[in-house]
Amino acid sequence: MLKDTLLKLLTIPGPSGFEGACADYIEGEVKPFVDETHRDVLGNLVCVKKGAPGGKRILLTAHMDEIGFIVTAIEDSGFLRVAAIGGVSPALTQASHVVLSSGAQGVLFLEDGADKPSLFIDIGASSKEEAEAKAQIGDWAVVRGVVSDMGSRLAAPYMDDRSGCAVLMETLRRLEKTDNEIIAVFTTQEEVGLRGATTAGYAADPDLAVALDVTHAKDFPSSRKSAYVVSRLGQGAAIKIMDRGLIAHPDVVAALEQAARDADVPWQREILLGGSTDGAAIHKSRGGVPTGVISIPCRYVHAPCEMVDLRDLEGAVRILLKLL
């Protein structure tokens, strides 16, 4: 079920600010397993599973949005000028096939000889008029999803963070009973500044929180010598100690590590020197929230071929179930 859920999530486009279709699918799947669902102003999908009196309020998040592009201009020659939505690397994304919100298809390429890397989309139009029949300023675009299924390992665009969403959905499906109130939020606009998590954390006012996201698995050939490897694929879910925006609360780290031991699954410790997650916004909400992160090791983050190991996702589900 976990693999099927992830494969379906990977087919639903949704860059930051345009996550509605993804939220529709997730809500339809998890409704039978929670007591209530609703959307907030920023489009966060909030799913609540009620607990017993005296239980804790636990916030779980995974972000629905993916990096992408937005059309900023249409040239007389029919090419579409685009700007990045989120942390796009021109070197990693150029020469990709893309699909626009209008349904038009095209290819993404890097302008030759530009002083600053500048991407454009070619939708096969030979004039501005022809292009305007297929697209308009403000349309978004994402890399077309192609999945390489290698058994326990899958590679595709947007494992960041559809893999976290799949883990959270599977956790809600399997969680039969808990004394705690579980507030599972599938957040929006993480890639452009943790915006959905900022409002979700404030509204939930939880006793503790755990964010689900990917982290770098740089266990592949590289000429760059690094002092550390953030995580390794297939070696278990990573329990975050620190990243650029969060020093995980020691009590939450300890609880997650104990949950991993109780679940008898492999796990890793994670220190990420660049980048952050929803947890960076949530832990500063109101008077502060004890916050931790479970990370899915992922190779080639923000490339069209992000790779995860389903065994790491399964381990993350089991850790959460023991925690809750």
β-pairing, 208-216 vs 57-63, is: parallel
DSSP code at position 74: E
Query: 215: which 2 tokens?
Result: 């982290």
- Cβ-based neighbour number of residue 274 at 10 Å: 8
Instruction: Name the E strands within the chain.
Output: 36-39, 45-49, 57-63, 68-74, 80-85, 96-100, 105-110, 119-122, 140-143, 148-149, 153-156, 181-187, 208-216, 237-242, 267-271, 291-298, 306-309
SS3 content of the chain, % helix, strand, coil (to 5): 25, 30, 45
DSSP secondary structure code for residue 188 in this structure: S
Query: Which SS3 state, helix, strand or coil, does residue 195 take?
Result: helix
CA separation, residue 106 to residues 47, 69, 191 (Å)? 36, 13, 23
176 as an active site residue: the answer is no
Selected catalytic residue, list 66, 181, 190, 191 = 190
- CB–CB of 142/160 below 8 Å? no
The catalytic residue positions are: 190
